[in-house]
Amino acid sequence: MTFLFVRENREYLLAPGETLETDLGVLEVPENVAPGEEIETHLGESFVCRALRGPDLFEHFERTGAPMMPRDVGLVLGHTGAADGDRVLDAGTGTGVLAAYLGRAGCHVDTFEQKAAFATVARENMRLAGVEAVVEVHTGDVSADETLDSLSDTSYDVLTLDTGDAPSVVERAPDLLVAGGSLAVYSPFVEHTRAVVEAAEAAGLASVETFETIQRRMDFDERGSRPATAGVGHTGYLTFARRP
């Protein structure tokens, strides 16, 4: 198991028994370390041990591209109701942030990544998240007919897609989902989102709806309170639907 060792704005990922040399001294992690404990370097500088949570994974996963933002993950979990014991088919693993969140929620996840190098990184990220037992990272194209044919033998509770070929997979959603199962598709562009919606409607899915995810950070100072002027509030579009 890996923990975060935190001091002010510093965060280091370390496992029990590991040693890290810093400008504040050598930090030796005891084998029996537990979250909440303070560990001192040989110079007497303290770091607090902290268990990894979802936002920590977003910050510390090795990245193979732009990962799904926590705000989008929250919408996926909230609108699909993904929960303990659910079977999830996920495509477009990338860094694996969504797959890790789903695994930590107790879901059993089959996630597909087309690029072998990205899949290797995602497997290591699943190990860091502690979900390698419930999240299986496959290397392959989930939209391939032979893949979809084999997957249709498994009934999934949730289908999550973050791929350019999502519309072709959405067409097969009724074959992949249990009755009442949920679909969530992340799209960076409006044109792709429209294609997803049209595919969902053509497939006979119900409750098709799309949201743009926008979030603004608030600033509070002595002058007053207002939304931050810096940063990008928009991340993408999320389309949800259910199999009747």
CATH of the domain at 138: 3.40.50.150
Q: Do both 71 and 170 map to the same domain?
A: yes
Q: Do both 12 and 131 map to the same domain?
A: no
- Examine the pLDDT at 231 and tell me if it is beyond 80: no
Q: Do both 71 and 32 map to the same domain?
A: no
Q: Do both 71 and 98 map to the same domain?
A: yes
Give the contacts of 190 (CB within 8 A, at least 6 positions apart): 237
Give the integer Cα–Cα distance in Å for 134 and 99. 10
The dihedrals phi and psi of 235, each to the nearest 5 degrees, come to -115, -45
Residues 69-76: what's their mean pLDDT? 94
Domain total for the chain? 2
Residues 18-29: what's their mean pLDDT? 94
Share of the chain above pLDDT 90, in %: 87
CATH number of the domain within which 10 lies: 3.10.330.20
Among the listed ranges 119-123, 141-145, 227-231, which one has the minimum average pLDDT value?
227-231
Whether the Cβ atoms of residue 103 and residue 82 lie closer than 8 Å to each other: no
The dihedrals phi and psi of 129, each to the nearest 5 degrees, come to -75, -10
Q: Do both 9 and 23 map to the same domain?
A: yes
Q: Do both 233 and 125 map to the same domain?
A: yes
Q: Tell me the pLDDT tens digit for each residue of 140-172.
A: 999 998 998 888 888 999 999 999 999 999 999
Q: Tell me the pLDDT tens digit for each residue of 202-218.
A: 999 999 999 998 888 89
Whether the Cβ atoms of residue 45 and residue 10 lie closer than 8 Å to each other: no
Q: Do both 163 and 136 map to the same domain?
A: yes
State the pLDDT at residue 158. Answer: 98
Q: Do both 156 and 41 map to the same domain?
A: no
Domain residues for the domain of 120 are 56-242
Residues 166-187: what's their mean pLDDT? 97
Comparing 71 with 1, which gets the higher pLDDT? 71
Q: Tell me the pLDDT tens digit for each residue of 74-101.
A: 999 999 999 999 999 999 999 999 999 9
Q: Do both 87 and 45 map to the same domain?
A: no
Q: Do both 31 and 126 map to the same domain?
A: no
Q: Do both 43 and 78 map to the same domain?
A: no
Q: Do both 38 and 70 map to the same domain?
A: no
Whether the Cβ atoms of residue 83 and residue 105 lie closer than 8 Å to each other: yes
Give the contacts of 149 (CB within 8 A, at least 6 positions apart): none
Question: How many Cα atoms sit within 13 Å of 220 on the Cβ side?
Answer: 0
Run of H or E including 210? strand 206-214
The pLDDT mean for the chain works out to 94
Residues 54-60: what's their mean pLDDT? 92
pLDDT band at 14 (very low <50, low <70, confident <90, very high): very high
pTM of the complete model: 0.90
Share of the chain above pLDDT 70, in %: 99
Helix (H, G, I), strand (E, B) or coil at 117: helix
pLDDT band at 232 (very low <50, low <70, confident <90, very high): low
Q: Tell me the pLDDT tens digit for each residue of 36-48.
A: 999 999 999 999 9
How many of the other CB atoms lie within 10 Å of CB of 161? 25
Helix (H, G, I), strand (E, B) or coil at 185: strand
Residues 122-148: what's their mean pLDDT? 94
Tally: H helices and E strands in the chain:
8, 15
State the pLDDT at residue 230. Answer: 76
State the pLDDT at residue 149. Answer: 87
